[in-house]
Amino acid sequence: MPTRGLRHLPIDISKKSLGGNNLPIVKCLCGVEIMIVPNVKLMSQAIEAHILKHKKKAKDPKEAEIEAERIRDELITQILDKASQT
């Protein structure tokens, strides 16, 4: 029996109006660049994945939490900033 085509592909970032000189990226405090994608889920996944890297460098859980918040605030601030420019 054929399965119904219920495949939701959330990735639709390929050729969507990403033109212009400003690359849609945010730069972390550590220098790593993260691409901004017009998809909340993917975007937050990318952010959380990167935050995890910072957390792993922390010496204890408390420091990890502080670091996570710092990085999250920084990245989201930049995203909002970019969003308001376009």
> Which residues of the shown chain bind Zn ion in the complex (CB under 5 A)?
28, 30, 32
Shortest separation between residue 77's beta carbon and Zn ion, angstroms? 14
Instruction: Pick the closer one to Zn ion by CB: 13 or 32.
Output: 32
50 in Cβ contact with 67 (< 8 Å): no
Helix 61-85 vs helix 40-57: crossing angle, to nearest 10: 140
50 in Cβ contact with 34 (< 8 Å): yes
Instruction: Pick the closer one to Zn ion by CB: 42 or 68.
Output: 68
Shortest separation between residue 10's beta carbon and Zn ion, angstroms? 24
Instruction: Pick the closer one to Zn ion by CB: 30 or 80.
Output: 30
Shortest separation between residue 62's beta carbon and Zn ion, angstroms? 19
Q: Please, which residues have CB within 8 angstroms of residue 9's CB and are 6 or more apart in sequence?
A: none
